[in-house]
Structure 1
Amino acid sequence: VCQLVGKSSLFNTDHSQWIPRDRNALIKYAKMWRDAKTVKERKNIFNKYGVHWTSFSLLDYWDPTRQLVIDSMHCILEGLVQYQCRHVLRLDASTRQSSSTGFKYAFDWQWPLYDADSAPIHIEMNPKHIPQVAKVQDMLCWAIEGEQSVSLDYMWSRLEGQVLSALQSVAWSLELPLSLDNIDPQISSLYIERSKRKSKRKNHDSTHFPAGKAASHKNHFIALLLNWRLSQPHNSSEFIAETGDEATLKFIQNVIRDMIRPAWVSSVPKNFGEKSAGSVKAEEWRWLSSLFPPVALIIYWGDADGCAPPEDDSKEGRFLKVLDHTMALFQATIVALLYSTSTRRANIYRKYHAEWVNGLTTLFPQAREGKIKPNIHAAGHIFDFLLLFGPVMSWWCFPFERLIGALQKINTNDHIGGMFPVVVRAAAYKNVS
């Protein structure tokens, strides 16, 4: 939508720099993608310009910066609200605390799933080896200090059991430099020690670490990954953020269970945050962001024996800052989803969204690391579409999701006719009414 690209721009809330991309340039790049001779050329064009060819580009009035709408349902409700509750506040009892092997995790990282279409061409991944990518990602989160931790030597051995392409894929996803520069002495010493152990030569004095060379062998990539691992939290004591303790989650569940709600307010899982609650739907996130957790957190974090908590660096003061930050997102969500809008309301939405984004980089260290969600920036462009197309209810995806849900419930033998047209008509009438 705008010219800002890259991770460094995701937290940019200076809207004067959000300059729309040039329509003519986008059409030009789309034609370049269409006319490319090889898959590699197309991949390079897309990685550079972020554009595919579409038949819409044949239309004189087609402007993707204004007509490719960012859906509020997926971007805000299933994107930012879920991200805030589960990954930022950690209001999720199912969040991992120890691995299947019994080792504790020192930190949580939003690892991307392996995608053959976006992976570099030089990484040749056999489909049967794709699960090893997740194994490597899992191992790198293990604690390397404290109880139930592993040594770097043990982690090296476990990583050595994975294929080279899996190690390369993880290193690529972390955007690690592929040269063995600035490697921690612990890692280089371990590399030499393990090389000596495996070497059959009697004279080990010539064994050295290949500093400055390009990574090409399995041990080279393991060294890069472990060097990155040392830059992350070593101990599991800080894995569960203070906001995501059991008492907080239990209080929210009690509010959900005990609150008397109007009939027009949809129900949400009473065991919210538990694994048994299943997948929370967009409609449920809508009410979780506008009613239940806001009420619960205002009482739990915003009430100090009938008084407001102190605005300082005490534990209560930090909770107050977290509450203000969380409410900024919830208020932005409420304003965005109103059934009527105006320039004033769009500006209020943008103000609260910017306040939430700015708070992410200061209050929550875990939000600054890992694979950053593009939704953080994309949600800011909801402002543009509120001005262009009015209330989100006229262009969000709820009607399509309802229709998909209705179609999925149909028992069919692939014959034309039957219940299919009946359900389509019923869903259409429901959306109109």
Structure 2
Amino acid sequence: MWLSIILGPNEPNHDQIDNYIRPLMDVFVVGWEQGFRLSCTALHPSGRDLNLALVIDVNDLPATRKMQGMAAPTSNHYCSICDCYGVHTMYNTEYHAWNRRDITVLRAQAFAWRDAPSQAVRDAIFSQYGVCWSEFWRLPYWDPTRMAVVDSMHCIFEGLVHYHCRRVLRIDTKLAKRKETMGAAFKHAWLEYDAATCHPACLLQTEVRELPMIRAIQQKLVQPLLANEDEVHEDVEPVDDNIEMVDASDPRFVPAISIDELRQQLMRTNLQPLRWVVFSLGLNTDPSCIISKKACCDQLLSWRRTKPLTSDTFIPRSINLANIHFIQRVIKQTTTPAWVDSVPSNYGDSHAGTIKAAEWRILATIYLPIALVILWGDHDPSEQSTRMLQMLDHTMALFSAVILVSRYTMTPLRASKYRSLLKQWVDGLPTNHPHTQSHAMRPNVHMAFHIYDFLILFGPIISWWTFPFERVIGFLQKINTNDHIGGELEATLSKSFMRGASIRQWLQRPDCPPVFIELKVLFDKTFPSYNLPADSPPLAKAGERAHYK
């Protein structure tokens, strides 16, 4: 067994990572080309020959690309499996038209990159094909389009489920307490200020200071207006930057204001920027006759009254504070089997902590479906109820896909249904949640479709997800090493890890002292067997267990 830990504080780049992979590839190359001779096995006392092959590589998405020498998932070569190209195609769901990347071309270009005479040639190869040299290409059978799997833990649970709950549904107490923001009332093709073609009366005195004022005026003019101009409007508190929902400088997300408030905001701007906006809109061909800011504001407000008050496509926030409290109550009051791990009952609050992948899975398959069906599953014919029911169907498409992909047995029918449900969810994002159109495209959305390919190749995701490895990483991180390096750190980690394995083995021996057998119940609760699936039957209490004598 090969164990290796890459020391920090920074991750190695494409070139440096090969130094860690090379010793492992040396073994696999010999194991495939020559094989090994085992002197003795349980079924072959006289020994046997064997060949060694590496058939699967499991990492999160960025690590997979780095290990395989492929382009980053945020590049135009965002997919290492199919030939989809260009970030703008990332949400294309016509998967029947996707073609697997040609492994012969990838291998040839990887070797060409390795043997390139200059860095410029390497850069050209990488830009065109999205591949560079990796130690994995030393294996003659290696095919990253079939062997470098998409990890479901990072892609589905920490990726899509996290995104849908936090960014799409916006289940966040802090965000729900803030006043709602809506999209810009209308779109307008604003002219850019150009001193060379500008009317002399509109020339800015100091462009550094007044040019941003022009942009601010343009953004204020497309703000949604309150239907009742006499309505008192309180300032909207800016949305938390950590939520990454609204950019205060983005005219697509602005608070509704009254005409009087708009006038006050415009009056706080310099005269020259106001004159230029009036001139750019064609409201006055001779801005020199406008001698006051009030006259400018009157013309701009008259123009604004001819435009829509609010956006026709604005959809209110789907989750409010009362809904979040109801979800929390469902988490507290729902009775689940003992083998189902708990999730924070204050989910949605900032002090609930970071939700882990296993908790996202439980939320998406148990608690949130129960809560949202109760909240939105009403058959009231009102427009609001109809919209909520559509959002419920859209959300349940993703949650149903999560339930299917998490099954411990897999069939071609289940895999196909998972992919069709995922398509339904992606296609429904812009219509059910228009605010998601301003979000950056997420590579996880595309890569989640390719989990279908690996379900067909390798079966249920429990066979190849990264939960066991992440737990080992967590265990190793908790070992106190006192920051000793140069061999001491590796020795401490190895000894601590092997001690834990030895004590577990010793506690299963039939000759273990009775006092320790009694304490073993507490030990099992504290250190459960993470390798067993959640629905595994309990171990038999009677009978002798396997142990080393």
Smaller-chain TM-score range? Answer: 0.5 to 0.7
- Structure 2 match to 1:382: 451
Q: 2: distance between equivalents of 1:152 and 1:28?
A: 62
Q: Residues 395 and 425 of structure 2 are in contact (CA less than 8 Å); yes or no, is this contact kept in structure 1? A: yes
Structure 1 segment 295-374 matched on structure 2, within 5 A: 295-302=370-377, 304=378, 308-310=379-381, 314-374=383-443
Deviations 1:202-259, CA, capped at 9 Å, x for gaps = xxx9xxxxxxxxxxxxxxxxxxxxxxxxxxxx99999994212112111111101111
Return closer, same or farther for 1:257/1:44 CA change in 2, 3 Å cut-off: farther
Q: Secondary structure at the match of 2:154?
A: helix
Counterparts of residues 139-218 of structure 1 (less than 5 Å): 140-141=249-250, 146=256, 189=276
Identity of aligned residues (%): 42
Q: After superposing the two structures, state which structure 1 stretch, 3-12 or 76-85, moved more.
A: 3-12
Secondary structure at the counterpart of residue 91 of structure 2: coil
Q: Is the CA contact (8 Å cut-off) linking 1:252 and 1:292 kept in structure 2? A: yes
In the alignment, structure 1 residue 14 sits paired with structure 2 residue 89:
no
Change (3 A) 1:419 1:16: closer
SS in 1 for 2:85: coil
What is the CA-CA distance between 1:344 and the residue it aligns to?
1.4
Structure 1 pair 267–359 and aligned structure 2 pair: CA distance change class (3 A) = same
Distance 1:424 1:341, change over 3 A: farther
Tell me what 2:202 maps to.
Answer: none
Say whether residues 1:292 and 2:361 are aligned partners. no
Alignment partner of 1:417: what SS? helix
Aligned partners of 2:472 and 2:313: how far apart in 1?
44
Query: Within 1, Cα distance between the matches of 2:400 and 2:389?
Result: 16
Q: Distance in 1 between matches of 2:131 and 2:470?
A: 26
Structure ID, larger Rg:
2
Shift of 1:333: 0.5
- State the shift of 1:328 in Å: 0.7
What are the within-5 Å matches in structure 2 for residues 229-248 of structure 1?
Answer: 241-248=316-323
Q: Does the 8 Å contact 2:174/2:349 carry over to 1?
A: yes
Q: Which residue of 1 aligns with 2:491?
A: 417
Q: State the Cα distance separating 1:63 from its structure 2 match.
A: 0.8
CA distance in 1 between counterparts of 2:268 and 2:444 reads: 37
Q: Is the 8 A contact 2:136 2:142 kept in 1?
A: yes
Instruction: Write the distance in 1 (CA, Å) between the matches of 2:389 and 2:255.
Output: 32
Q: Which amino acid in 2 is paired with 1:34?
A: R
The secondary structure found in structure 2 opposite 1:371 is: coil
Q: 1:141 to 1:393 in 2, by over 3 A?
A: same
Tell me if structure 1 keeps the 8 A contact 2:153–2:466: yes
CA distance in 1, matches of 2:321, 2:98: 40
SS in structure 2 at match of 1:291: helix
Alignment match of 1:70 (pick from 131, 150, 153): 150
- Post-superposition offset of 1:106: 6.2
Task: Quote how far apart the aligned CAs of 1:352 are.
Answer: 1.1
2:177 and 2:110 map into 1 onto residues whose CA distance is 45
Give the 4+ runs in structure 1 shifted more than 6 A.
103-107, 148-156, 234-240
Rate the CA distance shift 1:189–1:55 in 2: closer, same or farther, 3 A: farther
* Residue matched to 2:173: 93
Residue identity matched to 1:51: V
Kindly state the Cα deviation for residue 372 of structure 1 after the two structures are TM-superposed. 0.8
Q: Do the aligned partners of residues 331 and 32 (structure 1) sit closer, same or farther apart at CA in structure 2, a change above 3 Å counting? A: same
* TM-score, normalised via structure 2 length: 0.53
Give the TM-score of the pair, scaled to structure 1. 0.66
Aligned match of 2:536 = none
Give the 3 Å change call, closer, same or farther, for CA 268–380 of structure 1 in structure 2: same
Corresponding letter in the other structure for 2:161: V
2:330 to 228, 234, 255: 255
Report the secondary structure of 1:242's partner residue: coil
1:147-189, Cα deviation, whole Å (9 max, x unpaired): 5999799999xxxxxxxxxxxxxxxxxxxxxxxxxxxxx9994
Paired position in structure 1 for 2:468: 399
The aligned residue for residue 49 of structure 2 is none
Q: Which amino acid aligns with 1:253?
A: Q
Are 1:97 and 1:239, in contact at CA under 8 Å, matched by a contact in 2?
no
2:510 is aligned to: none
Deviation string 1:348-388 (CA, Å, 9 cap, x unpaired) is 11121111111113212122333111111110111000000
Q: 1:271 aligns with which of 333, 339, 346?
A: 346
TM-superposed CA distance for 1:59, in Å, is: 1.6
For the structure 1 residues 3 and 239, does the alpha-carbon distance in structure 2 shift closer, same or farther, using more than 3 Å as the test? same
Residues 52 and 273 (structure 1 numbering): CA distance in 2 closer, same or farther, change over 3 Å? Answer: farther
Partners of 1:69 and 1:152 lie apart in 2 by: 56
Alignment root-mean-square deviation, CA? 4.0
Whether the 8 Å contact between 1:2 and 1:20 is mirrored in structure 2 is: yes
The answer as to 2:168 corresponding to 1:84 is no
Shift of 1:265: 0.8
CA distance in 2, matches of 1:90, 1:39: 45
For the residues of structure 1 that align with 2:312 and 2:177, how far apart are their CA atoms? 10
Residue type of the alignment partner of 2:366: L
- What amino acid sits opposite 1:140 in the alignment? S
Shift in alpha-carbon separation, 1:106–1:243, aligned structure 2, 3 A: closer
Q: Is this contact kept in 2: 1:46–1:52, CA < 8 A?
A: yes
Is the Cα contact below 8 Å between 2:180 and 2:255 reproduced in 1? no
What is the rounded CA distance, in whole Å, between the counterparts of 1:79 and 1:253 in structure 2?
A: 22
Change (3 A) 1:417 1:257: same
Q: Distance in 1 between matches of 2:130 and 2:325?
A: 44
Cα deviation for residue 418 of structure 1 reads 3.8
Q: Residue in 2 aligned with 1:229?
A: none
Aligned to 1:177: none
Look up the equivalent residue of 1:371 and give its one-letter code: A
